[in-house]
Amino acid sequence: MEWNGRGVVLTTRKHGENDVILEAMTLDHGRHLGLVRGGRSKRHRPVLQPGNELDLTWKARLSDHLGQFQIEPQTLRAGELMTSAIGLTSLQHLAFLLRLLPERHPYPRLFNALSVLLDHLEAPDAAGALLIRFELELLQDLGAGLDLTSCAATGGVDDLAYVSPKSARAVSREAGLPYHDRLLPLPSFLLDGQRQAGSELTWEDITQGFELTSFFLDRHLQERGGKDSGTRAQLLGTLEKSYRVTFPWNF
């Protein structure tokens, strides 16, 4: 059994004296583990850092074996990510999120979203918006996606302002007003044609976005007997500190 493809390093763990087990998110084979011989060597250690994108060749005698990776560096982001508080906490949170998915199942849209996200973690507003969009994409792949295209009550597409926690569908401002205390706020930057990632968002936009994704991710975890890792709370704390420095007028 053998394949070759792109992969982003999520984590590594020591295996024996010189080897490591690499956990990577790959384009064509999803989250995949494999042994890297000599992974703790001076040559491989800088390459096998979270966030780096590699060219991977995986080989095994049988498809259900752990197998071995051969690695070649492609995009080495780790040096920059490791010097950024947002980068470090984002990597930890992303690794946790991706472990919610089954191994070895391809999620090409999610892989591409991960690559874009890792290249745009320098600005807190762009990072926050892209992280929220990543979580929305993850929810789709988990089978718990949101429908933000039209109002669940009227079918209209204008002035969508809430999300129903029961149906996971958008609700217009007028239809949702009588029940606003039971609905989740929908920040406008998540709607097509509204503010996109990279534009200056308020801290309220970001917190509302994470409250939305957190609600449905937490429900997914509870239904499957899992629990939150605490990485989102760390990430939000880091984002808030950066926001207060970069956009003090938002507070």
The CA-atom distances, in angstroms, between 153 and each of 147, 171, 172, 173 are 13, 7, 8, 11
CA distance 143 to 124: 29
Query: What contacts 150, CB < 8 A, 6 or more positions away?
Result: 156, 157, 160, 169, 170
Q: Tens digit of pLDDT per residue, the chain (251 long)?
A: 999 999 999 999 999 999 999 999 999 999 999 999 999 999 999 999 999 999 999 999 999 999 999 999 999 999 999 999 999 999 999 999 999 999 999 999 999 999 999 999 988 999 999 999 999 999 999 999 999 999 999 999 999 999 999 999 999 999 999 999 999 999 999 997 555 444 578 999 999 999 999 999 999 999 998 888 899 999 999 999 999 999 998 88
Per-residue pLDDT at 198: 45
The CA-atom distances, in angstroms, between 93 and each of 50, 131, 184, 193 are 12, 10, 23, 28
Backbone angles phi, psi at 15, to 5 degrees: -140, 105
Per-residue pLDDT at 201: 87
Please say whether the beta carbons of 224 and 113 come within 8 A.
no
Q: Which of 235, 240, 183 is nearest to 212 (CA)?
A: 183
Using DSSP's 3-state secondary structure scheme, residue 195 falls into: coil
pTM, two decimals, is: 0.94
Q: Give the domain 2-76 fold.
A: OB fold (Dihydrolipoamide Acetyltransferase, E2P) (2.40.50)
Domain with CATH 2.40.50.140 in the chain: 2-76
Per-residue pLDDT at 197: 44
Per-residue pLDDT at 250: 82
Residue 8: strand pairing partners: 25, 53
